[in-house]
Structures are given as C-alpha cells and as structure tokens.
C-alpha cells in the first residue's frame, strides 16, 4: 500500500464487505466511491475490521480525508465540508 501525502486526491473504495457476511466496517456508507482530499496522516494502527473478530490484524495507516458536503449530499450548503477518518486500505490514489 503506497504512502499518501497531504493534499493527495483520493477515492474511497466502493465496496460492501458487510454484504458478504459478518463484518465490522469503520468506513461510512456515504463516502464509499466518493473523491476527497487527504488532509493528514494520523499514524498507523492495527486494522479494527480484523481486531473485531480476533483475526490477525495488519498495521494500516489512518488518515483524515476531507470531502465537500455538496459532493456527498447535493441539497446541502456548498461551503460545508466533512472530515472523515479512513484507513489506507479503503483509499485509492487518483
């Protein structure tokens, strides 16, 4: 997994692991498949999606990603933004 730098444009994977069986997902539905801007790295942590089921959990980078609220919800005010914490395994560099 490549390291992402602040300012990088990213897309959140459009994936639904919970549709394949029991899952613990920390990625909100409303950002899946959406594009945002990486704001900062928050460090590296063991993957909670695996820890929740006592599976071996790889260490993954965690990031703050900024989305325009207008891109997520067209009826909202254009000056609003949404900041979301996302693990690197969910992000694709653009």
Number of domains in the chain: 1
pLDDT digit string, tens, across residues 35-51: 999 999 999 999 999 99
pLDDT digit string, tens, across residues 6-23: 999 999 999 999 999 888
Instruction: Of 11, 7, 17, 1, give the one whose Cα is nearest residue 71.
Output: 11
Q: Is residue 1 part of a domain?
A: no
Q: Is residue 4 part of a domain?
A: no
Q: pTM of this prediction? A: 0.92
Strands of the chain, DSSP E: 9-12, 35-46, 59-68, 81-87, 91-93
Q: Which pairs from 67-75 meet CB under 8 Å and 24+ separation?
A: 67/31, 67/34, 67/35, 67/36, 71/34, 71/35, 72/30, 72/31, 72/34, 73/30
Q: Is residue 83 part of a domain?
A: yes
Q: Is residue 32 part of a domain?
A: yes
**CATH number of the domain within which 29 lies:** 2.30.30.50
Evaluated on CA atoms 86, 92, 93, 94, the torsion sign reads negative
The pLDDT of residue 24 is: 87
Which domain, by its residues, includes 52?
A: 9-93
Nearest 5°: phi and psi at 32? -65, 130
Q: Is residue 2 part of a domain?
A: no
Q: Is residue 71 part of a domain?
A: yes
pLDDT digit string, tens, across residues 67-79: 999 999 999 988 8
Q: Is residue 27 part of a domain?
A: yes
If you ran DSSP here, which 8-state letter would residue 3 be given?
Answer: P
| 3-state secondary structure (DSSP) of residue 31 | helix
Q: Is residue 3 part of a domain?
A: no
């Amino acid at each position: 997994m490549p390291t992402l730098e602040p300012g990088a444009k990213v897309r959140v994977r459009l994936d639904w692991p919970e549709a394949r069986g029991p899952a613990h997902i920390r990625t909100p539905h409303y950002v899946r498949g959406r594009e945002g801007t990486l704001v900062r790295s928050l460090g590296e942590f063991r993957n909670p999606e695996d820890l929740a089921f006592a599976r071996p959990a790889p260490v993954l980078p965690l990031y703050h990603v900024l989305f325009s609220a207008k891109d997520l919800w067209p009826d909202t005010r254009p000056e609003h933004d949404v900041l979301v914490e996302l693990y690197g395994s969910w992000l694709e560099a653009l």
